Amino acid sequence: MIPRAGWPAGSRGRVIAAPAKVNLFLELLAKRPDGYHELQTLLAPIDLYDTLEIQPRDDGELALICEAPGIPTGPENLVWKAAEALRAAFGVTEGASIHLTKRIPHDAGLGGGSSDAASTLLALNAVWNLNRPIEELAPVAAKIGSDVAAFLHAGPTWCTGRGEIVESISAAKPLDLVIVKPPFGLSTAEVYRNARLPETPTPGEALRTALSAGDAVAVGRLTHNRLQPPAFALQPLANWVYDALLAQSPLSALLSGSGSCVFAIARDRPDALRIARLAEPMLVARVPHCRMFVVRTLVPNTDSLRMSAGL
């Protein structure tokens, strides 16, 4: 969040933090003619962030720099797509230089690319002096990816449609989580292709209520992810990671989104550290090269520091 040294005084540049998410609930309702699934999902942002530093350019060019290996820096990056989509939507002729620092693993079910795209929209909305409300940015976000619009909001969201219809929901307290990223990713499209629609969808209202009330025990009892069985069938080692977390008696363990990350809900931060410590030797023995993150979910009022002006 600290701007790089050397930015000119009075710069319109912005530094923005792009949080990762976990899905506490994901249910499929129907397969649509366009190939997407109609769903209900509860997204909870967490305190694991990518960072974007964005400066306007008068020459109309876009430039994206990212030092992380394997991350494209051209038009296939969702950050680039977001900048182009915003320019097209509002007739912008200015360009931008964007520096992306990646910390969120990709193909992980943590929404890193989608969050980067949403943060790009929020920051460029200020950098290009557009000052549009979120309702006008949301349709632009939805064209970039199904869960991009959710990341325009602070705090947890309840998402329907193919994920792009977003409602902010309340959370009384943050949840302490342990996230394990196995040394492989999962393709979202492939996991959805292997998913089966339920005869009777699991309702998510009770989970929403539990989250609003800050009842972590009830949240743990009510978590659900319809994509977990197909993801575990495609990558049995993800199932093993799940078993290693569940063996530590957390409140709950669950695949996030379409994976490959699996997370445990802990009772508090010391419990999260306990779960991580006890699961680690099991993981090292059976699924080496996993990464572990001890994190907390964000509640709306913690988000006020997400964007800062360039100094």
Chain residues that interact with ligand C5P, rule: CB under 6 A: 35-37, 39, 145-146, 162-163, 188-189, 192
Taking the complex as a whole, the smallest distance from the CB of residue 36 to ligand C5P amounts, in Å, to: 4
Spatial separation of the C-alpha atoms in residues 246 and 80, rounded to whole Å: 39
Catalytic residue check, 147: yes
Task: Report the distance separating Cα 74 and Cα 8, nearest Å.
Answer: 26
> Quick check: helix, strand or coil at residue 209?
helix
Name the E strands within the chain: 14-31, 37-57, 62-66, 95-101, 157-160, 165-168, 176-181, 224-225, 252-255, 262-266, 291-296, 307-309
Which of 21, 81, 102, 181 is labelled catalytic? 21
Q: Closer CB to ligand C5P, residue 88 or residue 189?
A: 189
Q: Which is nearer to ligand C5P, 49 or 151 (CB)?
A: 151
The residue (of 117 and 244) whose beta carbon lies closer to ligand C5P is 117
- As a whole number of angstroms, the distance between CA 95 and CA 84 comes to 9
Q: How far is the CB of 193 from ligand C5P (least distance, A)?
A: 7
Least distance in Å: CB of 196 to ligand C5P? 13
User: Is 41 or 248 the residue whose CB approaches ligand C5P more closely?
Assistant: 41
Residue 149, both tokens: 């619009």
Q: Which residues pair with 247 in a beta bridge?
A: none
In the set 50, 116, 147, 176, the catalytic residue is 147
Residues recognised as catalytic: 21, 147
